[in-house]
Amino acid sequence: MKRLLTGIFALFLAIGLTGCGSTESENTLTVSATLDPHSKILEEAKPILKEKYDIDLEIKVLDDYYIFNKALDAGEVDANYFQHRPFFEGEVEEHGYKIVEAAGIHLEPFGFYSKTIDSIQNIPDNAEVIISNSVADHGRILGILEDAGVIELSNDVDRLEATTKDIVSNPKNLKFTEIKPELLGTTFQNGEGDLVAINGNYALQAGLNPMNDALIIEEVDASNPYVNIVAVQEGHEKDEKIQALIEVLKSDEIKQFVEDEYKGAVVMVD
């Protein structure tokens, strides 16, 4: 009997401790992000969230694009901040994730980098162009090349959905090689390929500034669809903690930090 009572007491104690833990976690917001610029922007937002809203921001840094939304859909994090809209929309369509956009935060100009070519006019014939293997990036990459006059895409395709199969004019006979986006910066630093198309966040991680170092740079304006977003589970986009995070990310303090830190390599959106 004594042993039974001891067991019951231990059970109630465990339940009590679990309850205490969940109460403490009510003020915690867990967000997954890539290292730069996303996690660095979140680090800047962290003390503001604590001071203004008494929210403890926990940041989980990941580098594999295909883990983020799966983890969010499974409820392993409260939000993620790493992806642009076309990638997000493609993931939701392909996997059926029950996640939604909570807000658009910033743009990262996409650039082409080279260790051997000093101008667009000097791109050699049969040049190797190394690009992301994320299909959501292909239309963006090819659109930049088309705007630069390097290739021409079919008029029958939406540029957002263009692939290399939609190239109708390729006078330099460019050869495209696809690799994981997180490897693009290292690939460039190792001197591989003639041109490397690098996502803005991975360019920053490689010590590059798209505005200064890119041979070809994407135009950034209000019509650019590649806004980086905060994503959450369906039904949670209006949660107080999520709304507090968005308010802080759109604050003058964060805008000033981004302007000072990235000097045009990251552009905040309204």
217-236 tens-digit pLDDT: 998 876 789 999 999 999 99
- Whichever domain contains 189, its CATH number is 3.40.190.10
Residues 45 and 26 in one domain: yes
Percent of the chain with pLDDT over 90: 81
Residues 75 and 160 in one domain: no
Residues 230 and 101 in one domain: yes
Query: In terms of Cα–Cα distance, which of 121, 102, 122, 110 is closest to 242?
Result: 102
Q: What is the DSSP code (8-state) at residue 121?
A: G
Residues 229 and 154 in one domain: no
CA distance 88 to 200: 16
**What is the reported pLDDT for 196?**
98
**What is the reported pLDDT for 25?**
67
**What is the reported pLDDT for 184?**
96
Confidence tier at 114 by pLDDT (50, 70, 90): very high
Instruction: Report the chain's terminal Cα–Cα distance, integer Å.
Output: 66
pLDDT greater than 50 at residue 160:
yes
Residues 123 and 256 in one domain: no
Condensed to tens digits (0 to 9), the pLDDT of residues 236-264 reads 999 999 999 999 999 999 999 999 999 88
Q: How much is the average pLDDT of 47-52?
A: 98
pLDDT greater than 80 at residue 148:
yes
Residues 160 and 184 in one domain: yes
Domain count, the chain: 2
Residues 231 and 102 in one domain: yes
pLDDT greater than 50 at residue 265:
yes
pLDDT greater than 50 at residue 37:
yes
CA distance 144 to 153: 11
Lowest-pLDDT range, 17-21, 28-32, 67-71, 219-223? 17-21
Q: Which residue, of 182, 201, 217, is where some domain finishes?
A: 217
pLDDT greater than 60 at residue 1:
no
| Dihedral class, residue 10 (left if φ above 0, else alpha if ψ from -120 to 50, else beta) | alpha
Strand locations in the chain, DSSP E? 28-33, 56-61, 79-84, 99-107, 111-113, 128-132, 152-153, 167-169, 175-179, 195-198, 216-217, 228-233, 267-268
**What is the reported pLDDT for 115?**
96
CA distance 191 to 2: 73
Q: How much is the average pLDDT of 107-125?
A: 96
**What is the reported pLDDT for 45?**
98
Query: In terms of Cα–Cα distance, which of 169, 218, 175, 213 is closest to 194?
Result: 175
Residues 253 and 121 in one domain: no
CA distance 268 to 108: 9
Range of the domain at 46: 2-108+225-268
pLDDT greater than 50 at residue 13:
no
Residues 29 and 71 in one domain: yes
Residues 164 and 195 in one domain: yes
Residues 120 and 211 in one domain: yes
**What is the reported pLDDT for 141?**
97
**What is the reported pLDDT for 32?**
98
Confidence tier at 62 by pLDDT (50, 70, 90): very high
Residues 116 and 147 in one domain: yes
Q: How much is the average pLDDT of 189-212?
A: 93
Mean pLDDT of the chain: 90
Q: How much is the average pLDDT of 68-85?
A: 97
